[in-house]
Copies of this chain bind each other. A is one copy, B any other.
Amino acid sequence: RIDGERLWGSLMEMAKIGATPKGGNCRLALTDLDREGRDLFVRWCREAGCSITVDRMGNIFARRPGRDDSLPPVMIGSHLDTQPTGGRFDGVYGVLAGLEVVRSLNDTGYEVEAPIEVAVWTNEEGSRFAPAMVASGVFAGVFDLDYGLSRKDVDGKTMGEELQRIGYAGEAEVGGRPIRAFFEAHIEQGPILEAEDKVIGVVTHAQGQRWYEITLTGQEAHAGPTPMPRRKDALVGAARVVEAVNRIGLAHAPFACATVGMLQVHPNSRNVIPGRVFLTVDFRHPDDDVLSAMDAELRAAAAEAAERGGLELALEQIWYSPPIAFDADCVAAVRRAAGANGYSHRDIVSGAGHDACYISRVAPTGMVFVPCENGISHNEIENAKPEDLAAGCQVLLEAVLERANA
Interface residue ranges, A against B (CB under 8 Å): 83-85, 125-127, 130, 132, 188-191, 207, 209, 211, 219-230, 233, 235-236, 238-240, 242-243, 246, 249-250, 253-254, 256-275, 280, 282, 284, 350-353, 375-380
Contacts and interface: CB of A to CB of B under 8 A. Distances in A.
A379 B282 CA distance: 32
Given A261-B270, A268-B263, A271-B259, A253 B239 contact: no
A266 B379 CA distance: 11
A306 to B, nearest CB: 15
B250 A243 contact: no
Contacts of A350: 224-225
A161 B243 CA distance: 41
Contacts of A207: 224
24 contacts: A84-B269, A84-B272, A127-B269, A127-B270, A127-B271, A132-B271, A189-B226, A190-B224, A191-B227, A221-B379, A222-B377, A222-B378, A228-B253, A233-B259, A236-B246, A238-B242, A239-B239, A240-B243, A243-B243, A259-B271, A261-B271, A261-B274, A263-B265, A271-B282
B228 A250 contact: yes
B226 A267 contact: no
Contacts of A239: 238-240, 242-243, 246
A358 to B, nearest CB: 15
A316 to B, nearest CB: 13
A253 B144 CA distance: 55
Nearest to A352: B224
A236 B281 CA distance: 13
Contact of A219 (B219, B224, B351, B379): B379
Contacts of A209: 224
B83 A267 contact: yes
A126 B270 CA distance: 8
A272 B378 contact: yes
Contacts of A271: 83, 125-127, 132, 259, 261, 282, 378
